[in-house]
């Protein structure tokens, strides 16, 4: 009898212990992916001036871009300080605005694509964009996991005892490059018969 009670209590303690650790781990990972998004955005801010320098001859809007970058960088730093994922994503939208004219230039000037430093820089830029994408997705998945854990029974009891609060995560973006559809994509593909 006594052994039974001790066993049950032991199991409960084990469950609480592992759940607490899980929740703390997820929270740390959420922080880490927010940090990762921030780091990549800072890397983009560093890359853009190099890119504009590399394409100097083709390019007139340098000043405007620099202003946009400075603004975006400031927004990133602020969002990182508050560890606010949503603000960070907003800052990334600013960064995309700064990038848009450079991307357009690359679309319209194919000869740029064969020059070594610009190709290297564009590769780096693509990598930062991918990293932001994956970090965002990780952030969304982790937040969903975490929020489900702290509202479902019985993990919600443990979450309540230790005062875990729901994470805000990201709201679904309603605008931005990723949801715009270009004219090219709307064309019906031609099929040769």
Smallest separation (angstroms) from other proteins to the CB of 88: 16
Tell me the two tokens of residue 1.
Answer: 């009898």
- CB of 68 vs other proteins, minimal distance in Å: 25
CB neighbour list of residue 62: distance below 8 Å, 6 or more residues apart: 52, 56
Which C-beta is closer to other proteins: that of 73 or that of 136? 136
Residue among 60 and 190 whose Cβ is closer to other proteins: 190
Helices (H), the chain: 2-54, 62-82, 85-108, 116-151, 155-161, 183-186
Residue 150 CA to residue 32 CA, distance in Å, equals: 20
The minimum distance between CB 118 and other proteins, in angstroms, equals 14
Can you tell me which residue has the tokens 């400031």? 74
CB of 138 or CB of 156, closer to other proteins:
138
- Dig out the tokens for 189 from the structure: 């593909």
Closer by beta carbon to other proteins, 43 or else 71? 43
Instruction: Please report, as ranges, the residues that interact with other proteins according to CB under 8 A.
Output: 29, 36, 120, 123, 126-127, 130-131, 134-135, 137-138
């Amino acid at each position: 009898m006594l052994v039974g009670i001790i066993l049950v209590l032991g199991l409960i303690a084990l469950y609480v212990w592992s759940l607490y650790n899980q929740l703390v781990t997820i929270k740390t990972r959420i922080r880490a992916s927010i940090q990762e998004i921030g780091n990549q955005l800072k890397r983009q801010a560093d890359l853009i001036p190099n890119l504009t320098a590399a394409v100097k001859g083709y390019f007139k809007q340098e000043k405007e871009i620099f202003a946009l970058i400075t603004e975006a960088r400031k927004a990133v730093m602020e969002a990182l300080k508050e560890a606010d994922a949503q603000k960070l994503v907003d800052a990334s939208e600013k960064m995309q605005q700064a990038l848009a004219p450079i991307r357009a230039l690359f679309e319209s000037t194919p000869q740029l694509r064969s020059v070594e430093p610009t190709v290297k820089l564009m590769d780096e830029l693509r990598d930062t964009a991918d990293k932001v994408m994956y970090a965002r997705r990780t952030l969304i998945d982790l937040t969903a996991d975490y929020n489900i854990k702290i509202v479902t029974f019985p993990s919600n009891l443990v979450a309540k005892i230790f005062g875990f609060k729901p994470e805000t995560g990201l709201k679904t973006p309603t605008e931005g490059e990723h949801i715009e559809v270009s004219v090219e994509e709307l064309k019906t593909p031609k099929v040769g018969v």
